[in-house]
Amino acid sequence: MKPFIDKEYIKTTLQRLRLAILTLLKWMLCSIASGIVIGLIGAFFHSLLDLAAEIRTAHPWILFLLPISGIIIVFIYRLSGCKSSKGTNLVITAIQSNEEVPLKMTPLIIVSTILTHLCGGSAGREGAALQVGGSLGNAFAKLFNFDDKDTRIMIMCGMSACFSALFGTPVAAAVFSMEVISVGIMYYAALVPCTVAALIASSISSMSGLASTRFTVGEIPQFGIPNGIKFFILSLIFAVASILLCVVLHKTSHFFTAHFENQYVRIIVAAVLVIIMRFLFGTTDYLGAGTDIIARSFVEQSAWYVFLLKIIFTAVTLGGGFKGGEIVPTLFVGATLGSFLAPIFGLPTGICAACGMVAVFCGVTNCPLTSLLLSIEMFGSESLKYCLLCIALSYLLSGYYSLYNSQKIMYSKYRTEFINRHSS
């Protein structure tokens, strides 16, 4: 007769429980340590970027130093042995394979991003945060003597921590690093370390007196068929804008690389073009990250050309070799486009700006879950239905374009089919 209590089953269960507890303890210790260290560095980086923006605003003539800052950026990268930088693509590749994210990337990207923002380059900061976090995460993996698989988790953990410290959206930050690597596959093994590190880093940033990214949406129309149709059309426009953003950024980068082989010449040309465009259009709205313009787009209609000019300024800045991120410019594009379209569709400005932000973000990153969480953390849950609709449609309609060439599309957006191809 078979015994009522299966000793082998109990033994196996206990072994699994022991492994789970040991794994939990390991990742709790690692994520707490990395969350504290990377949170402190991220908060310091955040403060420096804010200071750089204040100095640039108070002293507009600093824009004329942009070519010099470009020369310094190229010089320090060459001095460190990095003649070219793949940026966030390097971090993504490191998780997909065994490529290393060197620790020296941390001071390089921090200094170069601050110089870019200080002198008026049009760039964000969260892309830089992903690189800093990935670099520091890789360093922690070396410190803990991790194997290749655990190193990948540690890199994602670092990305989440630094993104959270700079942007103040820990939930979205925790998921983003797991979702952005390979579309259709989530690295759930990294869920605990990414979550813990992101929450700790966000808390450290808050204790440092740094504000989280929040926007007031204002009036939200009743959800129904008429408004649903309007947002369906808006989603199509947002998807096209996300494709346009990716294409312009990539084509501009290829153009600079093909026509200006010398990196010093390339970055000087880009700097001069930014200066010319600033005076040609008579505004400083497109310099730096542009978070003040994003906030303004929630309360007043933006002009039709604002999102297009931001795309051009950002493409020239990053394509020429300056450093920074693409995410805040992406949010700028989505918010100002939604703000412009709101009166045309007879809708409140705030909700259209909000939907534009997360829909374009989703279209260029292919991260619908992160986009949804981002909408909740930035706008609250009241706008969730409209944001979800726009995110879902933008994800489908934006095709396989992406800000990151290294991002892999593992599963088709259109069928339950494994395709394993690189993004466009």
Q: Which residues contact 84 (CB under 8 A, 6 or more apart)?
A: 77, 263
| Span 38-62, pLDDT tens digits | 999 999 999 999 999 999 999 999 9
Q: For residue range 357-399, list pLDDT tens digits in order.
A: 999 999 999 999 999 999 999 999 899 999 999 999 999 999 9
Q: Which CATH number applies to 10-207?
A: 1.10.3080.10
DSSP H helices, 260-346, are: 263-280, 291-296, 306-319, 327-341
What is the reported pLDDT for 20?
86
With bands split at pLDDT 50, 70 and 90, how would you rate the model's confidence at 4?
low
Which residue, 140, 117, 139, 143, is CA-closest to 128?
117
pLDDT value, residue 72: 96
The shares of helix, strand and coil residues in the chain, as percent rounded to the nearest 5, are: 70, 5, 30
Which 8-state DSSP code applies to residue 221?
Answer: P
* End-to-end alpha carbon distance in the chain: 63
**Is the predicted pLDDT of residue 126 greater than 70, yes or no?**
yes
> Encoding tokens for residue 167?
């942007």
163 CB-near residues (< 8 Å, 6+ apart):
126, 129, 130, 133, 169, 173, 176, 177, 198
Mean pLDDT of the chain: 91
Residue of 308, 211, 321, 203 lying closest to 264 (CA atoms): 321
Structure tokens at 6: 């299966």
In a 3-state reduction of DSSP, which class is residue 124? Answer: strand
Spatial distance between the Cα atoms of 332 and 298, rounded to a whole number of angstroms: 11
Binned at pLDDT 50, 70 and 90, residue 212 comes out as: confident
Q: Among residues 333, 339, 329, which one has the least CA distance to residue 297?
A: 339
Element (H, E) at 420: strand 418-422
Beta strand 418-422 with 408-411 is antiparallel
* pLDDT tens profile 145-159: 898 889 999 999 999
- The pLDDT score that the predictor gives to residue 85 is 61
- Distances 268 to 65, 121, 164, 262 between C-alpha atoms, Å: 10, 12, 33, 10
- Contacts for 144 with CB less than 8 Å, ≥ 6 apart: 30, 150, 154
Grade residue 84 by pLDDT with cuts at 50, 70 and 90: low
Find, among 406, 398, 244, the residue nearest to 329 by Cα. Answer: 244
Helices (H), 119-208: 126-143, 148-167, 170-179, 191-207
The residue that leads in pLDDT, 406 or 309, is 309
pLDDT in tens, 213-227: 889 998 999 999 999
Kindly state the percentage of the chain with pLDDT values over 90: 67
Which residues on neighbouring strands pair with residue 411, listed in sequence order?
418
- Check if the beta carbon of residue 391 is closer than 8 Å to that of residue 358: yes
Q: What is the pTM of this model?
A: 0.93
| β-bridge pairing 182-183 and 408-411 | parallel
Hey, which residues does 421 pair with through a beta bridge?
409
- Residue of 173, 174, 97, 107 lying closest to 135 (CA atoms): 107
Share of the chain above pLDDT 70, in %: 97
CATH 1.10.3080.10 segments of the chain: 10-207, 225-422
CATH number of 225-422: 1.10.3080.10
Using pLDDT thresholds of 50, 70 and 90, give the confidence band for residue 92: confident
DSSP per position, 129-151: HHHHHHHHHHHHHHHTT--HHHH
Alpha carbons 12 and 33: distance in angstroms, whole number: 32
| Predicted local confidence at residue 105, as pLDDT | 84
Pick from 70, 69, 62, 63: nearest CA to 256? 70
Pairwise pLDDT comparison (407 vs 296), residue with the higher score: 296
Q: How far apart are CA 108 and CA 294, in angstroms?
A: 28
> pLDDT tens digits for 261-305?
999 999 999 999 999 999 999 999 999 989 999 999 999 999 999
> Is residue 218 left, alpha or beta, with left meaning phi > 0 and alpha meaning psi from -120 to 50?
left
Report the b/e string of 109-135 with b at 16+ CB within 10 A.
bbbbbbbbbbbbbbbbbbbbbbbbbbb
